[in-house]
Amino acid sequence: ESTLDLINQQQLEEVYGIHFDTCKITDDKTHTKSNCHGNPNCLIHLGEANWMPNVHDVETSAYSEILENIVRQSDQFVGLRNLGATCYVNSLLQVWFFIPKFRSAIYNYRNELIADEMIPINFLTDNRFNLMGLQENPTIENRNCEKMTLDEASNEATKSPSAIKFSNKSKQSLLHTLYENVPEFMGNRERILSAFASICDYLQLVFAFLQFTKRRYIDPSPLISFLGLDTNQQQDVQEFCQLTMALLETTLSSQTDPKIRNSIQTLFQGEYSYVTKCSSCDFVSERKATFYELDLTVAGHSTLEKSFDDFFKKEKLDGSNQYYCEICQSKRDASRHIGIDIFPPVLNIQLLRNTGQKKKLKSILHFPEVLDMTKYLRHESKNGSCIYDIKAVLIHRGAGTQSGHYFAHIKEDESKSWHVFNDETVHQLSGKKLLIDEDSVESDDLNPSNKNSKPVKAGYHASRSAYMLVYTRRYSEVECNRDIQEEVFLPRSIVNIVSEDNLCLKRWIDAVEKQKQMNHMTVISNKAQVINRIYPSLFVDTDQSYEWICTEWLLNWLRKEESVSTIDNTSVLCDHKKLSPNLSMVKRISQSSADELFTLFGGGPRLSKEDICRQCVENICRKIQFDTKLNKDWKFIKSIGTEKFNAGDSSYWVGKESLKNWRVLATREFKRNIREPLSQANTEISDLVEEDTGSDVITATETTNYDEFEFNQDLLCEEHGNITAVEKNRQIVSETVWLLLKNYFPKATSYQVGSPICHHCEEVVKAKVESGENSKALAMNEKKFLTKLYCNKARPSATDEGEYFVLPLRFVKSWRNFIRQPLVNCRPQQIDLSDILCEHNKLPFDPLMDFEHEKNYVNVTAEEWADLINHYGIRPGVCSQIKISIKDKLCECFPTCCQICIDSLIEKKALEVKTYSNAKIYISKEDPDEDKNTDSFQEEIEKGSRKRNIMISPLRRSKRCRRGEVAFKISSDETLRDLKLKVMTEFQVAPFDQHLSLNGCELSDLNSTLGSLGILPDCRLTLKIDLPGEITEEVSREPEAGFIGISNLIGFYIAFILVS
């Protein structure tokens, strides 16, 4: 107490943080983004930013960001929105769009069902893709099209400037408001798309938007919906390319213009021959075929040229693979290779990175900028040059082909610059060198600093993630000029859609720009004027006059738009009606700003430097001193607590719970003694005290509530108030420890070791000990005679001849708990057989039925039953026993079985078996040679089973996946159609070529659920596949040739795979 009198004014001000550093606006860049709650001099980040002049910077950046994210720039290409997992579609669409002849063919497609006017378009009006909107294209307006206007729907889609307002909100809030007002994308309108009937209609729309839209990216939802693609499931881009090409070829075949009708074949179709030469007579046979892409092997090849050499290399036909020569009229050794007859203008190269195990091959492949295919031609080319330039590289990132991410690098023809098309994001690469893997974890091997990496030669690119390469034939200048002069047409309906969308977006852009200018010129509100006048004067130096103000009121004033109430400082007063030293509740402001605030808003009380509470500061010091002493004594008691007492030393009894939590109790006593709630100790002062007392000071805080608990209360018995006879509730401490504790608890009574124990409680304890000993003896005795029942071993069952009895499972569990811990658990009283019997006083189960997890009983032998009856007896009023006799595999029960309850149980189990989710089944393909070996295989199984005396149950199912089987996760409510789609993904077989059988019976009803078809968890199905007819001529390494020759099935095939 003597040290408290030495507290001076400077120390009081330190407790109240008056000398803390002042946080000002100029320090904002290095300051944290939140207010310093414990610093009364920190007056930033209280909400003032919404009212200060720099708010316009936030607003301007918000407008700029929304325009940058939505509006296409003049030198920018358009992206495609990713709908979930449609990156593979977006990448392929961008590649096709940048093939001019393919784009022209799509534009010139005519929907024969719609009498639509075709409008000519000059693509190279401004020598670039036109960004100004079709309604501003003089080529269109001056020829065939009157001025276009918006309908009512497009007017509704355009928001007026008044709908876009900024009202002192954050940047994120403003951005949210602006995004909500972006006009609806016209390409998704139902009334517009209702007339579209084919994939070409939708491609026309997508391509027209990619070329003429004002948007930075567009939504390809109409095309995705038409194809029936699942937006949440990624497909392999190579398979999608083949299927879509086949669909386009079929759709364009109905066009009257032969150029359009044959455009797919003209652009993408090449021809090659399988050349076989007899080694005996040198006879050469040829078989011609067409191709739309070349599938090249990546494994084992470092360059594209080596992959081509492997593709075209000669293959020896000898041994069992000899060739039947027509001249020799017998099988002969021969050689076979592929020779190219015609190369297409657009050469698609598929890089086979799929290992067949759902993993992707990530070896590096070097490919050239310029590809010379002349040496692979069989004859001199009649269709132009065989020099190809790289056009696009389609990239796949990910471990497998069914996941990951696709994007494309495409070279633009005019500038010869590379652009990255990554869904919505499109940007130009600097320089002319492709850095495909620079931002990937796969780039390490391509790093020039890597000693093991192979350097990339000039004129080459390298990648371990390139999945598809597109090369275009190099044309002569005459051919290029001829292509430029060709006129291209677009349907008027497509022109109107794009024009409407551009006009809507232009109105929205004008509204945003107008609102942006208006907000800059808007007069600041009255409240903003007040805040801008008063806020800078709030800051105060140490030597200036100041006042204190409630932080909560200051926050409301600076953050809320509506008017605030009068200033209320009552919440920051202590119990002495002065300023509380809790610094998170108040801020220190200048005298002049306080005068102005109280003049405007009124309230009080006003708090100045004279309102600093000396009593609260003294209490804080007392608390700090107390905590220091408390931690010092706690460490001392803890250090000598384990020491042994010498004979003759004085010792005392202490309650064990009191000794364990004496720090908490001492803290409570301290608070009672000063008779007032202590304010929260200031962090700065605590740090100063810790420097004096040591860094290992421990604050006495506990979460347990001991408000009603008195020290040494647990040492005394509740009934008589004497020392408790329960030894576990008391503990001996030395005289030194007791004297320390006595300082904190002066009212506590001292009990020296040797003081009389409560004799009443002592007798009760002795009786409990004797009862416990008896219980232990009973438990040991019963465990000795009923060991097998306790360990649950050698239980009788319905498969054993003889008789046995049935006990309730609840009784057995209670009995086992007692045997395990007789001092803790009570001994069961009687055996209650009503726990087993049903409401009809019969057995609700058949002992011969195996429902193991439903058992509420335990089987016991006759000897065990006799011992248990002798010890526990049977509850009266119920049957005296439940006895089951098995003789000659016949079961006799007493009481009898209840057929009603048994039937109900069977129905319940049958329903549970047919209702499941996320369960596994196994499907294996049927081996054509399996039927020959089935009988002998079954005989071997039965023979081996008899040798090992194993009973093979038809209900038993192995949960192991055997060789050749594939596991599928299914639910009982899925249909057979859903299962066939999963099988198609795994086995690459169309659903109509699948025949699934269960136990030899084919499953055919596609709409039936798997549960109703009897497909249960862990069962095994057999898959039989319809194979195409035998090929009469022997083939080798022939790549797929698309879907040529089955045009009558392509529509159904695409619809079934994609729509489903």
pLDDT at 335 over 70: yes
- Which residues are within 8 A (CB) of 530 and not within 5 positions of it... i.e. 6 or more apart? 600
What pLDDT does residue 948 have? 34
pLDDT at 140 over 80: no
Confidence of residue 156 (pLDDT cuts 50, 70, 90): very low
Confidence of residue 694 (pLDDT cuts 50, 70, 90): very low
Q: What residue has token string 């009380």?
A: 605
Opening angle at CA 91, ends 87 and 97, nearest 5: 140
Could you give the count of Cα atoms lying within 13 Å of 775 in the half-sphere of its Cβ?
19
Side chain identity, residue 434: L
Q: How many CB atoms lie within 10 A of CB 40?
A: 24
pLDDT at 314 over 70: yes
Confidence of residue 479 (pLDDT cuts 50, 70, 90): low
pLDDT tens-digit profile of 255-264?
Answer: 888 888 999 9
Could you give the count of Cα atoms lying within 13 Å of 518 in the half-sphere of its Cβ?
12
Please state, in angstroms and rounded to a whole number, the distance separating the CA atoms of residues 53 and 51: 7
In the chain, the percentage of residues whose pLDDT exceeds 70 is 74
Opening angle at CA 595, ends 594 and 601, nearest 5: 85
Average pLDDT over residues 155-162: 40
pLDDT at 279 over 80: yes
Confidence of residue 454 (pLDDT cuts 50, 70, 90): low
Provide the token pair at 858. Answer: 């335990």
More confident residue, 128 or 194: 194
What pLDDT does residue 835 have? 86
pLDDT at 392 over 90: yes
Q: What residue has token string 């806020």?
A: 535
Provide the token pair at 981. Answer: 């789609």
What pLDDT does residue 812 have? 92
Confidence of residue 147 (pLDDT cuts 50, 70, 90): very low
Q: Could you report how far apart the first and last alpha carbons of the chain are, in Å?
A: 86
**Is residue 859 within 8 Å of 804, Cβ to Cβ?**
yes
Average pLDDT over residues 584-604: 89
Average pLDDT over residues 338-356: 86
Average pLDDT, the chain: 76
Please state, in angstroms and rounded to a whole number, the distance separating the CA atoms of residues 782 and 815: 10
Tell me phi and psi for residue 623, to 5 degrees.
-65, -40
Confidence of residue 194 (pLDDT cuts 50, 70, 90): low
pLDDT tens-digit profile of 808-849?
Answer: 999 999 999 999 998 889 889 889 988 888 888 888 888 887
Kindly report whether the peptide bond that precedes residue 895 is cis, defined as omega within 30 degrees of 0.
yes
pLDDT at 92 over 60: yes
Please tell me the pTM assigned to this model. Answer: 0.47
More confident residue, 346 or 143: 346
pLDDT at 142 over 70: no
What pLDDT does residue 112 have? 74
What pLDDT does residue 720 have? 80
pLDDT at 652 over 80: yes
Decide the pairing of beta strands 890-894 and 919-925.
Answer: unpaired
pLDDT tens-digit profile of 95-132?
Answer: 999 998 898 888 888 887 776 777 777 543 433 344 33
Confidence of residue 997 (pLDDT cuts 50, 70, 90): very high
